[in-house]
Structure 1
Amino acid sequence: MEKGLSDPAKGENEDGEMQLKKTIGYLGGVSFIMGTIVGAGIFVSPTGVLKYSLLNVGVALIIWTICGIISLMGALCYAELGTALPLSGGEYSHIKRALGSPLAFIFIWTAVFNKPASNAARALLFAEYAIQPFYGECPAPEILKKCLALAVLWFLGILNGRSVKMATWVQTVFTILKMMALSVIAITGIVLLIRGKKENTARFESAFSGDIPDAAQIAEAFFQGLYAYGGWWSLNYMAEEVKNPSKNIPWTVMTALPSVTVFYLLVNVSYLTVLTPKEMVSSVAVAVTWADRVIPSVAWIIPVSVAISIFGALNSSVFTLGRLSYAGSQSGHLPAIISMLNVHYWTPAPAMIFSTVTASIFIIPSDLIALTNYFGFSLWLMIGFTCASLIVLRYREPNLHRPYKVFLPVAYGMVAVSLFLVCAPIVWSPKVQYIYAFLFVLGGLLLYLPFVHFKIHFEFVDKITCYLQLLLEVSHANCKCE
């Protein structure tokens, strides 16, 4: 290919250098966002919001709505950053640009521990729902669940490492399937409400008649709701691979988040149409209880839908984690081999292998996953840093081309929300584990100073990198294409 020509579809830029392919369009972006957000939570246990709302139906539905609005606010902030700086790595790339390398390193240091553990937890949950129907009321063997979880992780790791187009296609199919399942629940609830039977409408006629929760309980309810919306930030991790990002990123965000919010509200209304608030709170898997009550002859559809939902969310999470590792390596914050692209597929195969191996380690002694529950505050800390990055860049780089600009008070609001969600669990339920988690986060600086700031380097690392480069058939992203 002649130098100076570009072919993004083949993974080449204007100088004929290797780069990630631009293969994700509008539909693929919507599928990734919705597929990441809609996991097992809305099917299994949307009881937390209702529980901490003191079974007050009206308050619970308002909280679900506000959680959707907060998620949309955050996604719009990320849309501005993604269109102005369409780079792989999501928050990491934006924090590094605006707030500096040390904070970016702390982010990736925490994410390399926390995000693979989250993937491991999803894989184990998928295995549980996929295997349990074959064992009836008896518990499925742990070794079998772990083997299936490992198999699923590696299948998705290899799939995402070989073909972005195939991974996007899988994500689209599984997103459609899970939204069909949610549609069945939502439409059934609407039909039951239209029929107007007393037992179906009673909960809504006196929606605000229950006790009003206090501030701490409302905060806990918001934690539960926002957890169900987790994943709205996923598109920024693949901004470099989005076709026409200045147009597609904002439109995918403004399509996906309102759609998920509407679905979540309709599904909760459907649950409350069939079940009382006390029945919902006491149910381990609300959707399964709902199906046993409404469609007992085909109630097995719901466990299958849960497994499909988890699989789709896991696929998206595997994809984004690989891009985060890739971006971190490009900046010198992770080993150089991770920033290389496969010469046949132009995909970050080493990054996918690295993230999949890390998640596999968490599956084997699965008790490690419990430790990551105390890192929830770090997620919102980094979201706060990212939204602060938007504010900093507005003032420091006013001439930066921004195809989309969010209303600036929205960014300030997200910083305030993030600060509250970081401090609330530590203040209201202080535990020594939070101190350990905080020290772990800061511990990243002990690696940053010698290996990044002072650039301490070992020659044997170069030899290992060269060997792996030949073995995996990978090359640096700035390598010239013939």
Structure 2
Amino acid sequence: MEEVIDSEYSYNGIPESIYEYDRILGITDGIALNINNIVGSGIFLIPGNVWRLVKYPGTALFVWISGGYISFLGSWIYAELSVILPNGAGELKYFDEAFSGSKRLFVRIFSYIMIFIMRPILIVFNACIASQYLIYAILGKNQENQSGYFSKGYVIIRTTSIIILMIITLYHILSSKFAARINAIFAVFKILALTIIVIVGLIQLQNVNFKNHWINVFENTSDNRSYSQRIGSYGYAMLETLIAYEGWSNANYLADKLINPQRSISWLISLI
């Protein structure tokens, strides 16, 4: 344990003091970035999928609460790791500390998968969803419904996605402080959007037809699936909710940018 704690002052031979000059983000900036990481396209798309999988309002609510609890526990584990190893390398640093010798092959495989598979897929997915929402807001129709590759809708969505990615990349390259301000604005808009959805939902609960859905929350919807099919659907629904909550683990990548990372990461994880 002592070796791990002592290693917080360097990473691959680089003194921790090297990172100090670039610590420009406060707790507010970290919270905004974490909100943007967690509140992505999944929270707006996945609730419908979860409902179709579980088919019961009570079960759907239980799955969402369980997924949130699991994510909360995971975020606190990462918070502890960020205190021990506050250099912003994230999982790479943790695996690097845990594995040595021939076992470092696992670290390289993990890095390859994250750089060339997982991260690009998530980035492209979010960019495509963002472009669909943007085009729908402007034109009032879903361009994705047009079938066939290189159809008009296909080209519009993919081109818009590329433009969105280029803009995001550009302002992150230009200035970290400016990027933090933009991310804070996006975080506010996301919170406002979710707040409006919640308020509309609460208003709809006053409707008699909606109230009836909560009389027998675990028996309200007919379900002809077998027991094994239900179990599989519940497991799949849990994975969907964890995808919606995904992003809490990214807070540790901010450690080398945050002022007083040990305190800041603990606070931003607790508040979110």
- Coarse TM-score class (shorter-chain normalised): 0.7 to 0.9
Cα distance in 2 for partners of 1:26, 1:75 equals 16
Cα distance in 2 for partners of 1:147, 1:207 equals 44
Give CA deviations for 1:36-70 in whole Å, capped at 9, x if unaligned.
Answer: 111122223412222221x1110110010000000
Dislocated runs of 4+, deviation >3 Å: 17-20, 135-141, 210-214
- What is the CA-CA distance between 1:96 and the residue it aligns to? 0.7
Change in 2 beyond 3 A, CA 1:220/1:157? same
Match of 1:235 in 2: 251
Cα distance in 2 for partners of 1:146, 1:137 equals 13
| Amino acid of the structure 1 residue aligned with 2:61 | L
Give CA deviations for 1:412-432 in whole Å, capped at 9, x if unaligned.
Answer: xxxxxxxxxxxxxxxxxxxxx
| Amino acid of the structure 1 residue aligned with 2:87 | L
- What is the CA-CA distance between 1:18 and the residue it aligns to? 7.0
Query: Do the aligned residues in 2 keep the contact of 1:32 with 1:234 (CA within 8 Å)?
Result: no
Q: Is the counterpart of residue 106 in structure 1 residue 109 in structure 2?
A: yes
The structure whose RCO (Cα within 8 Å, separation 6+) is larger is 2
Match of 2:9 in 1: none
| Amino acid of the structure 2 residue aligned with 1:180 | L
Cα distance in 1 for partners of 2:76, 2:232 equals 28
Match of 1:269 in 2: none
Cα distance in 1 for partners of 2:181, 2:264 equals 17
Match of 1:134 in 2: 139
- What is the CA-CA distance between 1:135 and the residue it aligns to? 7.0
Instruction: For 1:235-254, list aligned pairs within 5 A.
Output: 235-254=251-270
Change in 2 beyond 3 A, CA 1:64/1:158? same
| RMSD of aligned alpha carbons | 2.3
Change in 2 beyond 3 A, CA 1:215/1:42? same
Q: Is the counterpart of residue 171 in structure 1 residue 183 in structure 2?
A: yes
Query: Do the aligned residues in 2 keep the contact of 1:20 with 1:241 (CA within 8 Å)?
Result: no
Cα distance in 2 for partners of 1:119, 1:42 equals 15
Instruction: For 1:245-324, list aligned pairs within 5 A.
Output: 245-256=261-272
Query: Do the aligned residues in 1 keep the contact of 2:71 with 2:242 (CA within 8 Å)?
Result: yes
Change in 2 beyond 3 A, CA 1:14/1:119? closer
Match of 1:30 in 2: 31
Change in 2 beyond 3 A, CA 1:134/1:161? same
Match of 1:93 in 2: 93
- What is the CA-CA distance between 1:137 and the residue it aligns to? 6.0
Change in 2 beyond 3 A, CA 1:144/1:215? closer
Instruction: For 1:5-16, list aligned pairs within 5 A.
Output: none
Match of 1:145 in 2: 157
- What is the CA-CA distance between 1:146 and the residue it aligns to? 2.5
Change in 2 beyond 3 A, CA 1:119/1:254? same
In the alignment, structure 2 segments of 5+ residues that lack a partner are 1-14, 147-151
Query: Do the aligned residues in 2 keep the contact of 1:20 with 1:240 (CA within 8 Å)?
Result: no
Cα distance in 2 for partners of 1:120, 1:188 equals 30
| Amino acid of the structure 2 residue aligned with 1:29 | G
Match of 1:328 in 2: none
Change in 2 beyond 3 A, CA 1:187/1:97? same
Q: Is the counterpart of residue 79 in structure 1 residue 79 in structure 2?
A: yes
Secondary structure of the 2:47 match is coil
Cα distance in 2 for partners of 1:79, 1:18 equals 19
- What is the CA-CA distance between 1:179 and the residue it aligns to? 0.8
Cα distance in 2 for partners of 1:59, 1:144 equals 39
Cα distance in 2 for partners of 1:144, 1:67 equals 35
Change in 2 beyond 3 A, CA 1:233/1:137? closer
Secondary structure of the 2:235 match is helix
Change in 2 beyond 3 A, CA 1:145/1:248? same
Query: Do the aligned residues in 2 keep the contact of 1:96 with 1:103 (CA within 8 Å)?
Result: no
| Range with greater deviation from structure 2 (200-209 or 140-149) | 140-149
Match of 1:323 in 2: none
Give me the identity figure in percent. Answer: 26
Secondary structure of the 1:243 match is coil
In the alignment, structure 1 segments of 5+ residues that lack a partner are 1-12, 257-482
Which one has the largest radius of gyration?
1
Query: Do the aligned residues in 2 keep the contact of 1:242 with 1:248 (CA within 8 Å)?
Result: yes
- What is the CA-CA distance between 1:19 and the residue it aligns to? 6.0
| Amino acid of the structure 2 residue aligned with 1:40 | S
Cα distance in 2 for partners of 1:220, 1:135 equals 32
TM-score by length of 1: 0.47
Match of 1:120 in 2: 124
- What is the CA-CA distance between 1:169 and the residue it aligns to? 0.9
Secondary structure of the 1:39 match is coil
Query: Do the aligned residues in 2 keep the contact of 1:49 with 1:224 (CA within 8 Å)?
Result: yes
Cα distance in 2 for partners of 1:200, 1:135 equals 28
Change in 2 beyond 3 A, CA 1:183/1:205? same
Match of 1:223 in 2: 239
TM-score by length of 2: 0.80
Secondary structure of the 1:141 match is helix
Give CA deviations for 1:236-283 in whole Å, capped at 9, x if unaligned.
Answer: 112111111121111111111xxxxxxxxxxxxxxxxxxxxxxxxxxx
Query: Do the aligned residues in 2 keep the contact of 1:63 with 1:222 (CA within 8 Å)?
Result: yes
Query: Do the aligned residues in 2 keep the contact of 1:33 with 1:233 (CA within 8 Å)?
Result: no
